[in-house]
Amino acid sequence: MSVEEHKRLKRLTASSINGYEALSVYLKYIEENVISSLEKWTHMENDYVMEALEREYTMLNLGLRALRINIPGFAFHKALKARKVLVAIFQSIVDKRRNERKEKLLPGQKAKDMMDSLIDAEDENERKLGDDEIIDIMLMYLNAGHESSGHITMWATYFLQGHPKIFRKAKEEQEEILRRRPPTQKGLKLEEVRKMEYLSKVIDETMRLITIAVIVFREAKSDVNINGYLIPKGWKALVWFRSIHLDPEIYPNPKEFNPDRWNEVHKAGEFLPFGVGTRLCPGNDLAKLEISVFLHHFLLNYEMEQLNPKSPVRFLPHTRPMDNCLARIKKSSVV
Ligand code: HEM
């Protein structure tokens, strides 16, 4: 994809998941999903549709990092098959949306979410995106967005549960939000999420310690000199974020989970969980919103009991407990 095409698609898609209006639209869906999922988990109920989708994403993801061997049994082959299943699911969603819009959307009415923006988008020659292009973009967004936020949510829950003092402090902040809420208000407001200062530090600390996006790749467009090292034009460079996030000179005692280290402001370049530059993650605000909403409800009403608390952790391709953090979610015993 050309640089120009990347810029155009990013502009088009990023606006539908950024800013007050867009995030307010998503907040309602996120909260409904969080509440119903937490409730289901306490009864050990599963959402089979979501689980089936999750299986396909996982296959796709594993194949992205595998050798391109398209023979049955190999990860790449399984990923291609998973992609076909996902494309079929997404095609039915795009069809449904196009039909709904025919019936409901009045001429000139503003687009609502990313799919609407993609359906409406036109280039300078008035060419619209085809279904295959829309599906490609949706798949890319879901792939980029679901595992990263899911892992950080899981780790934040894990750290909170393992640090009772931090848990209590974070819970008090959430209780304060409820106390200040007008009795008639139903559900979270974006203003409330923005007041979750301590929770935001918990999330930043989780993202620092876990650094879910381990690396990004770049190419030097010209000779670059960094601290006396020359990266010649055309060389591929690999940015290893963990070396920044676990640098003891920037973060003393870097392996300690300590949200209070965020009481100090850090310099530019010292915290890059969402990358940097033109490729900066467009889902950064949405991701923090999703994680905050989950932790709000978790802290207020639930506890997590790991089934294998001593499970070893593996660090590649992502930091995760070897048992995938098998746990029981229970209603909290102390109210
Ligand atoms: C905690 C959650 C997340 C983390 C840590 C994360 C991190 C990152 C990082 C490091 C990059 C690469 C930036 C670079 O190359 O410099 C990236 C790219 C991207 N992320 Fe995220 N992300 C998260 C959630 C999301 C969400 C929720 C979405 C969308 C719904 C999303 C969509 C994307 C997309 C589309 C790109 C590619 C951007 C481009 O190439 O211009 N991410 N993300």
Does the Cβ of 138 fall within 6 Å of ligand 1? no
Q: Residue 88 has which token pair? A: 């079929």
* ipTM score for this prediction: 0.98
Does the Cβ of 152 fall within 6 Å of ligand 1? yes
Q: What is the CA radius of gyration of the chain?
A: 22
Taking the C-alpha atoms of residue 71 and residue 43, their distance in angstroms, rounded to an integer, is 41
User: Which residues are annotated as part of the binding site for heme?
Assistant: 281
Q: How far is the CA of 256 from the centre of ligand 1 (A)?
A: 25
Residue to mutate (ligand 1; options 274, 292, 295, 320; most atoms within 8 A of CB): 274
Residue to mutate (ligand 1; options 210, 281, 290, 320; most atoms within 8 A of CB): 281
CATH of domain 3-331: 1.10.630.10
**Token pair 């780790």: residue:** 155
What are the Cα distances from residue 228, in Å, to 4, 220, 224, 250?
32, 16, 10, 21
Residue 218: its H or E element: strand 215-219
Tens of pLDDT, residues 25-64: 899 999 999 999 999 889 877 667 777 788 888 888 888 8
Question: With helix as H, strand as E and coil as C, how does 83-96 read?
Answer: HHHHHHHHHHHHHH
* Number of the ligand 1 atom closest to the C-alpha atom of 212: 5
Q: Residue 85 has which token pair? A: 């299943």
Tens of pLDDT, residues 80-132: 999 999 999 999 989 998 888 877 766 666 667 788 888 888 777 888 889 99
Select from 201, 206, 286, 203 the least CA-distant residue to 30: 286
Does the Cβ of 142 fall within 6 Å of ligand 1? no
Q: How far is the CA of 213 from the centre of ligand 1 (A)?
A: 8
pLDDT along the chain (335 residues), means of 10: 82 84 90 93 77 84 88 94 93 90 68 80 82 91 88 96 97 97 94 97 98 90 93 94 96 98 93 92 95 98 93 89 91 72
Does the Cβ of 213 fall within 6 Å of ligand 1? yes
pLDDT, position 164: 97
Q: What does the domain layout of the chain look like in residue ranges?
A: 3-331
Q: Report residue 131: phi and psi, to 5°.
A: -55, -40
pLDDT, position 107: 62
